[in-house]
Structures are given as C-alpha cells and as structure tokens.
Structure 1
Amino acid sequence: MLYWALVFLVVALVAGALGFGGIAGASTGIAQILFYIFLILLVVSLVMGLMRRRG
C-alpha cells in the first residue's frame, strides 16, 4: 500500500510540474489517503504483535 501511495505522489508531482492542477490535486489526495491507511494498519499490526508476545 505504501508503494501505491508513493506512485500517486510521483504522479502528482509530475502532473503539477506539467501544469495539470486538477490531476495533481486528485493524485495528492489519493496519496494522502493511502498513506494514512498504511499508517493505521502499521500501528494496528504493531499493537497486535505486542499483545501476542505478552499473552
């Protein structure tokens, strides 16, 4: 999932550099959403791993 967030970030940067503001904005939004989902899943998996070790 982090890979796709980085792909959309690169698309947003290229589109922004070429002057496609709408595409750049949409790609940036998608990249942010995917990155936050990745962070939430990372935290959940870390907490579950810590709980499994203690239990």
Structure 2
Amino acid sequence: MNRLLSVKEVAALLQTSRVQVRRMIQNGELAALKVGREYRIPLAALEAFVQQSLE
C-alpha cells in the first residue's frame, strides 16, 4: 500500500505553506484523497508532481 502524507507533511517537504498545497490540490496540480474533512496525498502522487515539475 502506498504511503499517504498529510497536507502539513507535503508542505514541509516542498518548503511551502499548507494553503499553497491545498490550492494545488484544488487546481488539480496535485492528486489527493479526501478522508473526512482532510486531504491525504499519496507519496507516488507527490513524486509524480515533482518529476513533472522538473521536466
């Protein structure tokens, strides 16, 4: 099973704010699952986002 990261963890890894991570999710730039009221980002989705940004 793929590891799920919180918005806070992703923000720390990308060195940005939690608000920015939520915007990226809402804009479809970053894939995420909604679990209850919170988002969880699969590690593979974060890796794909970073890879795509580097190309």
More strand by share: 2
Structure number with greater Rg is 1
Q: Same fold (TM over 0.5)?
A: no
TM-score by length of 1: 0.32
TM-score for the superposition, normalised by structure 2: 0.32
